[in-house]
Amino acid sequence: MANNNTEQADYDIVIIGAGFSGLLAAHYLKDAGFASIRLFEKSPSVGGVWAHGGVGGYPGAACDVPAYTYLPFLDRTGFIPSKKYVSQQEIADYAELLTDHCELRDVMAFSREVADVRLINGRDDLWQVTTLDPITREVAEVVTCSHVIAANGPLSSPRLPEVPGMDSFKGESFHTARWDANASLKGKHVGIIGTGASAAQVITTIVDDAEHLTVFQRTPTWVLPRDDEPTPPEITEAFRAGGYGEELRKVDFDSDAAPTEVLLTFDDLHDPEKNAAVCTMITERINAEVKDPELAATLTPDYPFFCKRALFIDDYYSTFNRDDISLVDDPGGVVRIHPEGVELACGDRHDVDVLIYATGFDSNLIPFPVTGRNDVTLADAFGANEDNKWQMTRPRSLWGIHIPEMPNFHMMIGPQSLNPYTNVTLVCEEQARYLAKLLSDMRDRGARTVEPSADAADAWTDLCEKSSEGKVWLRCNNWYMKTTKSDAAAGRERSAGMWMGSYEDYLRHLIGHEGYVVYGGELSLFTRKLEAALQFYGADFSVEAKTQDNAEVIEHRSGTHQVPVLLTPENWMIGDTTPLLELLDSRFPHRAMFPPGEMGVLVHVLEEHFDEWIARVMVHYRWHYPDSAKFAAQRMANGNPAVAQRMLDWGPRACRATGTDSTQQREAAEAEYLRILEAAEAQLDQTAFLLGDRPTALDCIVLGGLRAHTNMDPDPKRVTAQFPTVVDWAERRASRWDGTGELAPFDAPTDFAGHILGEMAATYSRYILANRDAQRVGAKAFHVDIYGEDVSYLSRPYPEAARKMVVERIRKLDTKGHKRVQAMLNKAGLREAFG
């Protein structure tokens, strides 16, 4: 732990880098209320790799992801990309626009190259960041901060080949990331080393300028057409109408796409048969476009699609039909540079006037030293070699963001945080949102530091390696996967320098550990229902009271005055427990509260009975009996006598609204609940839960009623005490579920399920059908016979909406499932209600 040194930091947060990751981090942090931020950028402008005059400023530089999905916040800025794949210039212009739109310039310092980052004064929450003027190399600023966010990105350090003689070359030579704008290619023989992304873009752009262009290829690349086009009118109109927003960026690849459409889903990418079909399609295109069969074969890769990064350029292959371009292929590559040109592994020499290194970036380089606790460096944490690279042993982090021994140091799009098939700006945005919430939570709770344990980082590293199993990236040499000395010693084939699972899985890991917040009340049935579900999911969550201080914000954001409201890790606020459970089911599918198929319908039907019908018995028990009403009012008012009295005045009105204000209705409702407790007592003597040996949404709502009402309020508590198995289940047993167990079959459900279906036919189905009819004609109230008495109810839209949710679930079943459910409903006397 840090000592008690109380030195005040200059800034709360220092961000390194003004590419999209740094811009998004600054935006979300400012939006979270952080004002003490300093952002250092070594270039004179924003945009990172795309900045004006930056490393992406070579001829033909463009993004190979459609602009509509790559550029963040298009729906907010009003910017409409000029075409599907925009140039480096347009991306740089957009970065400038985004900076101004988000009002970020006040936190920025340009032409400040970070030279050193270290913890100081024996503290875990005080970092010192030293910057240089990138031209004079003199110290520019030295500042301290509580948190450092390294948003410098993986494409900031150009990689030159390690071959002898580079300094001996007599002509002009430069890396594509250090393009010499003054260099003239006219009338010259130009050589370009590499066939990756920057090489392909440069080749098709400068071929008209050079007298002759020679491309030195070590490994061919899969190249697909962009089918680039100006932004069509329909997309322009959609942007202007506000209908082409951020959600589009999160749409997954089309799972139904045929191979000829070249739209492989993440899973399809790793399916050998589907991948091979795409390779065949591209090979046929190469053979059709390249006139010389031998040249076409040389341009055709022998590894699976996307094992190395695939490229998207319309005229790449056809360019090699020209007489003024030559392709020189040698798997051994360039082994020496001579004053007049290059020498290949085969011994051939080729003279050129200008030599361009299109050899990419060193994504593994740590561009500045970082020193954490006990003088442990980031290079140490990543097992770097003497060149400050981490590929010699396994990188180790948590989610590619947090590093052991580096408290309050956070990386964005670092090692182990995204796969090569992911829209990188989407990952930037999710990580920025995550960090803003993490740091704001720390601020609000008074926490000073955050750091992963060594065990957590090791577990994530192991998971990254496991995520690469069966993936296409194992089938060739690439920069995504690294074979290292430690791998050989441990018997591993490769180490994963990246998270190799899907983006959705990565986000699920981030969400699962970030946690949920339930805003509700201890005595709220539906709050306790959601709490029970989150316990069953095994989710990280906390429960906070909805109070007068936070009610306005919660109600505004969620659109409801009712509780509970769930705050998700993405900063969404959502009400209504049934749709919430469906959302959470998608995130925790192995612990789903609504099983798939017909069983999910049965659970939904039974859950709705408790949600919409038995809930009124909870209201009755609480507000009809004086002892319970006084207990609940005082507890809910949190010691405020005036609020308690308002609750006591409201109680009788609530009973009238639920139809339990007459003696006959009260006695019949209590008798129905007593029968349910008897059925539950008998069932829980046989199974762990009400529908078998694993929980469902039905268990959640029943537990919600017990924990919030009938095991809490004095009067019904005396009733439930007669059922010790039910009480023990609610208070202890249900919480011990280990994630295993099976449900009773749909065709032979538990006795408890049969009992509830019988109760529903006698009462709830009458109510729900009468409410449905009233809603259809717009009636404000209706009468229906319940328990042998004519009862007046207000017509309510939500019970009808809930009924339609069940109907919609049934509609989605296949033909066989639909018939089985209809037979079940018909047998239970519920066909009209839900059929």
Q: Note the pLDDT tens digit of each residue in 572-588.
A: 678 888 888 988 998 88
Cα–Cα distance measured from residue 116 to residue 131, given in angstroms and rounded to the nearest whole number: 7
Mean pLDDT, the chain, as a whole number?
A: 87
3-state secondary structure of 484: coil
pLDDT for res 364: 55
Residues 299-318: tens digit of each pLDDT: 999 989 888 888 889 999 99
Classify burial at 831, counting beta carbons within 10 Å of its beta carbon; exposed 0-12, middle 13-18, buried 19 or more. middle
Strand arrangement, sheet containing 189-193: 172-175, 354-357, 189-193, 212-217, 325-329
Cα–Cα distance measured from residue 199 to residue 322, given in angstroms and rounded to the nearest whole number: 17
pLDDT for res 391: 44
Report the alpha-carbon angle 97-103-105, nearest 5.
Answer: 85
Asked whether the predicted pLDDT for residue 290 surpasses 60, the reply is: yes
List CB contacts of 122: < 8 A, sequence separation 6 or more: 2, 3, 5
Classify burial at 284, counting beta carbons within 10 Å of its beta carbon; exposed 0-12, middle 13-18, buried 19 or more. exposed
Q: Are 193 and 343 in contact (CB under 8 A)?
A: no
Confidence bin at 420 (pLDDT 50/70/90): low
List CB contacts of 29: < 8 A, sequence separation 6 or more: 13, 15, 37, 432, 435, 436, 439
**Buried/exposed code over 79-110 (b: 16+ C-beta within 10 A; e: otherwise):** bbbebbbbbbebbbbbbbbbbeebebeebbeb
Top pLDDT among 265 and 167 is at: 167
3-state secondary structure of 121: coil
Report the alpha-carbon angle 302-306-308, nearest 5.
Answer: 70
Question: Phi first, then psi: what are they for 555, rounded to 5°?
Answer: -70, -35
Residue type at position 478:
N
Asked whether the predicted pLDDT for residue 253 surpasses 80, the reply is: no
Q: Are 217 and 328 in contact (CB under 8 A)?
A: yes
Confidence bin at 657 (pLDDT 50/70/90): confident
Report the alpha-carbon angle 159-160-161, nearest 5.
Answer: 120
Cα–Cα distance measured from residue 396 to residue 545, given in angstroms and rounded to the nearest whole number: 38
Q: Are 41 and 54 in contact (CB under 8 A)?
A: no
Residue type at position 526:
F
The H or E element that residue 542 is part of is strand 541-545
Return the structure tokens found at 375. Answer: 């003088």
Task: Determine the average pLDDT of the residues in 136-153.
Answer: 96
DSSP codes of every residue in 507-525: HHHHHHHH-EEEEE-TT-H
Task: Determine the average pLDDT of the residues in 504-516.
Answer: 70
pLDDT for res 535: 95
Confidence bin at 243 (pLDDT 50/70/90): low
Residues 20-46: tens digit of each pLDDT: 999 999 999 999 999 999 999 999 999
- Asked if the bond preceding 81 is cis, omega within 30° of 0, the reply is no
Return the structure tokens found at 274. Answer: 């589907």
Q: In 3D, which of 648, 643, 618, 617 has the Cα closest to residue 630?
A: 648
Q: In 3D, which of 118, 514, 151, 406 has the Cα closest to residue 395?
A: 406
Classify burial at 515, counting beta carbons within 10 Å of its beta carbon; exposed 0-12, middle 13-18, buried 19 or more. middle
Q: Are 488 and 355 in contact (CB under 8 A)?
A: no
Asked whether the predicted pLDDT for residue 488 surpasses 50, the reply is: no
Q: Are 381 and 396 in contact (CB under 8 A)?
A: yes
Q: Which of 194-208, 435-449, 490-504 has the highest mean pLDDT?
A: 194-208
Return the structure tokens found at 279. Answer: 């390779």
**Buried/exposed code over 52-68 (b: 16+ C-beta within 10 A; e: otherwise):** bebbbbbbbbbbbbbbb
CA distances 704 to 402, 525, 754, Å, are: 37, 5, 21
Cα–Cα distance measured from residue 504 to residue 489, given in angstroms and rounded to the nearest whole number: 33
Residue in the block written with tokens 């061919």: 220
